[in-house]
Amino acid sequence: MKKLLAIGAAVFLALPLTTFAHRLDEYLQATLLSVQAGRVDGSMRLQPGVAVSPVVIASIDTNGDGTLSDAEQRAYAEHILSNVALSVDGQRLRLNLVSVTFPEIDAMRQGIGEIQVEFSADVSAGGANRRLVFENHNRDSMAVYLVNSLVPEDKNIQITAQTRNENQSFYQMDFVQSSGGTGHVGRPSLSGLAGAFGLGVRHIAEGTDHLLFLLALLLPAPLLACGGRWSGRATVRGTLMQIFRIVTAFTIGHSLTLGLAAFGLVRLPSRPVEVLIAVSIFISAVHAIRPLFPGREALIAAFFGLIHGLAFATVISDLGFNGWYRLVSILGFNIGIEAMQLAVVAAILPSLLLLSRTRAYSLLRVGAALFAGLASAGWTIERITGMQSSVDLIVNGLAHQAAWIAPGLFLASLICWLFSEYCSGKSLNHFNGVTFSGSIRMQR
């Protein structure tokens, strides 16, 4: 367990602490939890920033002699744990200090010193469906919190859901624990299925690259290709059928690889998968401007859906589900993905149908395709080179405004459509008037 805890701690905590080396005015506190049969182990890593380190050092070095004795270190570690609350099924657990490691005082003054506190707590027996709650209020006026859990080593324990508040001072984890030693977790409850559904909804809502691929592929759905250009309009029925085919094909594609990868039957490194997802957005964006594969959009959606499904599967695999519980969790997760996708499609469908009947649609289609293409190019470079860019910041910023963008787009679409209908009606009346007058003159 110690080895696994060390490896997990390195993966989870090394990046944030390295990224924020020489911290300034924050007290970073990262906690990693591990649930086992009858016990919870925890590892905390605390790094005070330069501006707050004098306060932290003074609270440790209580006699002010400039050195940290073993007694002072242990007393401070106990103080930290007194500001931490851990409970299982509503029962608060007593935290036992296992070990503590302190850096040199000079390192803390520079904002690079890291305090390490290991603790454990005994957990009494309970039912199959259990809930762990962790709260950290140590130095909350200056603290920045992180918290996560390791995949349980015990195959009789399966994590079903995790939730956090905004600053991660509060963390809740639901897990299923069998009573036998067969290594098989019984049929999950509805709460487990609901948790997987919520995870799927949240994943696709936050996975802007997946949605951008689908939306870019839907842009030319109301149009017909002619001579290498989008120059004709499909009927409303034809548009709806095309959208149905694309969404269904994408669903079949990613559902297939999601299931296979989650059960370990298909496996690819994450970086090539993420690069291919970015490439899929670029191809669909180019197709929205100039038809590359007219009439075969559903096949492209299914093909790239296979790639997107591999990315979806990492969420399930990382939680360590197995057996029947993994099957049901995959089902709930996939239903959550589909529900969110359908909600997004339903939100833009009225605007798509209205605008496609106006001249303004060409501007929207090309503008949206260019945005998707630029975003995909940025993601591709970022995922190949590892360089950070502002693509996620921009795309996520727009996604967070979706509640305003969707109705605003519909209102603009309605205005454009009404104006187009008015102009068409006026032209028709004018034409009819000329024809009628001419016929009168001819009759005379």
pLDDT digit string, tens, across residues 391-420: 877 887 787 787 788 888 889 888 888 887
| Stated pTM of the model | 0.60
215 plus 364 within the same structural domain: yes
Domain annotation covers residue 242: yes
Query: What is the C-alpha to C-alpha distance for residues 312 and 274, in angstroms, rounded to an integer?
Result: 11
361 plus 229 within the same structural domain: yes
Q: Are 411 and 313 in contact (CB under 8 A)?
A: no
Name the residue among 212, 187, 203 with its Cα closest to residue 328: 187
14 plus 36 within the same structural domain: yes
Query: What is the C-alpha to C-alpha distance for residues 442 and 189, in angstroms, rounded to an integer?
Result: 83
pLDDT of residue 4: 40
Domain annotation covers residue 436: no
Query: What is the C-alpha to C-alpha distance for residues 94 and 92, in angstroms, rounded to an integer?
Result: 7
Q: b/e for 158-173, b at 16 or more Cβ within 10 A?
A: bbbbbebeeebbbbeb
233 plus 172 within the same structural domain: no
Question: Measured at the alpha carbon of residue 173, what is the angle toward residues 167 and 174, in degrees to the nearest 5?
Answer: 150
pLDDT of residue 370: 95
Domain annotation covers residue 402: yes
96 plus 242 within the same structural domain: no
165 plus 200 within the same structural domain: no
112 plus 210 within the same structural domain: no
Domain annotation covers residue 233: yes
Q: b/e for 391-427, b at 16 or more Cβ within 10 A?
A: beeebeeebeebeeebeebbeebeebbeebeeeeeee
pLDDT of residue 13: 42
Name the residue among 320, 288, 20, 31 with its Cα closest to residue 147: 31
Residue 312: both structure tokens together: 């979806």
Residue 56: both structure tokens together: 């932290």
Out of 118, 151, 185, pick the residue that ends a domain: 185
Domain annotation covers residue 169: yes
Residue ranges in the chain modelled with pLDDT below 70 = 1-24, 178-195, 315-326, 424-444
Q: pLDDT tens digits for 297-344?
A: 999 999 999 998 888 777 666 555 555 666 777 788 888 888 888 998
146 plus 215 within the same structural domain: no
pLDDT of residue 320: 53
The residue segments making up the domain with residue 385 are: 196-427
Name the residue among 32, 59, 24, 21 with its Cα closest to residue 142: 24
Domain annotation covers residue 438: no
Q: How many domains does the chain have?
A: 2
Query: What is the C-alpha to C-alpha distance for residues 371 and 377, in angstroms, rounded to an integer?
Result: 10
125 plus 205 within the same structural domain: no
216 plus 179 within the same structural domain: no
101 plus 176 within the same structural domain: yes
317 plus 250 within the same structural domain: yes
Domain annotation covers residue 116: yes
Domain annotation covers residue 437: no
Residue 29: both structure tokens together: 């506190």
Out of 185, 214, 237, pick the residue that ends a domain: 185
